[in-house]
Amino acid sequence: MDSYAAVERALRTAAPHLLVDVAADALREHWGAVGVELRMADYAVTSLQVVEPVPLATEPVSVHDSPQGRAFGAQEPRVERGSGGLVTVHLPVTIRGDRMGVLSVSLPEARYEKAMLPELVHICEALGHEILVAERDTDLYLVARRAARLTLAAEVQWQLLPGRSLDRPEFTLGAHLEPAYAIFGDGYDWAVSASTLTLAVTNGMGEGINASLLSSLATNALRNARRAGLGLADQAALADQAIYGQYRGKAYLSVLLMRFDLATGDVEAVDAGSPRLWRMRGSEVEQVRFEAQLPLGMFEDTQYTTEHFQVLAGDRLLFGSDGVYDTRSASGETYGDRALARSMSSTRLLPPSQVPRAVLGELATYRSGVPLADDALVVCVDWAGRG
């Protein structure tokens, strides 16, 4: 652990853009590494791209059929024995369940021991934490996540999102948004305290920068109300007033706002013209229905009320925007609730971090190459509860 502590200290004091270089130097000194490479998952989670001064100078590798991708998908170290007496260890870089990328460390076979894997995993955790801090001061790691240029609207929207997944003892959460590089204003937000998980799934209106600006106003208004300690209904009301004050009813936004009690599984919800929610309990899939209320910003001084339902250990919840269930096939048939229920059943063995991408993959097959006309957003929550 002395070696690990030395690497951690080096990372903590490194310049933001030099984290990979500092990690590589420390791994050479303490473990005899001869090669170190960090790859970040792109926004669409289809490729892993090297963090380097010139973006995409090195060919990306696939998330689905590469050694690095298998380590990323399984969230476990993968050991690859190559030519020239080298062993390369591919290690997932993941922070609190949010899958960021993969660190590949090449060592002479004579220096490699299985017993060093736990320390290398700890180094990946330290590196991931430092990357999150460094992103305040450098674009290096954000640029490495781009397989193509983001539209301005997508740039605004991605900066709003808290991450792609989150892992806590009481729940595991995963989310994904398509199309990743040119989006239309849908989004999600979450916050966790000692006793609650607050989750907002938003369905935007319009397209391009106007949709992203509307989504940004709504998300920040909800955050402002939440951080002021307001109740769920008042959070919706404050965001409603902010949007109406700006757009006077010409633009509005749907949201499903929920607060989970981590101890009891009681869920308080406000449905404001919301994205839909499905629940899988055992092998049974059903839609959870709420009393429909007006979208945020449609009218002045709208009052919102909360509803309650219960989640049990083992429940899986799936949230989908209208870009999912309204998507049409080449023949013009909508995807619909029934197909989404089948998709939930077919992905039941996957962890929540992989479910949204898998569901959207099935949606792409259903479209048969027809481009998405709207955002397709999927959020998956597996509930374990306490005790």
Show pLDDT as tens, one digit a residue, over the chain (387 residues): 577 788 888 899 999 999 999 999 999 998 999 999 999 999 999 999 999 999 999 999 999 999 999 999 999 999 999 888 899 999 999 999 999 999 999 999 999 999 899 999 999 999 999 999 999 999 999 999 999 999 999 999 999 999 999 999 999 999 999 888 888 889 999 999 999 999 999 988 888 899 999 999 999 999 999 999 999 999 999 999 999 999 999 999 999 999 999 999 999 999 998 788 999 999 899 999 999 899 999 999 999 999 999 999 999 999 988 888 777 777 777 777 778 888 899 999 999 999 999 998 888 888 776 677 678 899 999 999 997
Grouping H, G, I as helix, E, B as strand and the rest as coil, residue 65 is coil
Q: Is the dihedral of CA 241, 246, 247, 253 positive or negative?
A: negative
User: Are the CB atoms for 109 and 81 separated by under 8 Å?
Assistant: yes
Token duo for residue 201: 């799934």
What is d(CA 241, CA 226) in angstroms, rounded to the nearest whole number? 15
Beta strands 254-261 and 284-288 are: unpaired
Residue type, position 231, single letter: G
Per DSSP, helices labelled H in 231-335 are 232-247, 322-325
pLDDT of residue 362: 84
Q: How far is CA 236 from the centre of its chain?
A: 23
pLDDT of residue 161: 96
CB atoms within 10 A of CB 191: 15
What is d(CA 119, CA 157) in angstroms, rounded to the nearest whole number? 36
User: Are the CB atoms for 249 and 297 separated by under 8 Å?
Assistant: yes
pLDDT of residue 285: 93
pLDDT of residue 1: 54
What is d(CA 363, CA 343) in angstroms, rounded to the nearest whole number? 9
The H-or-E segment that residue 280 falls in is strand 276-281
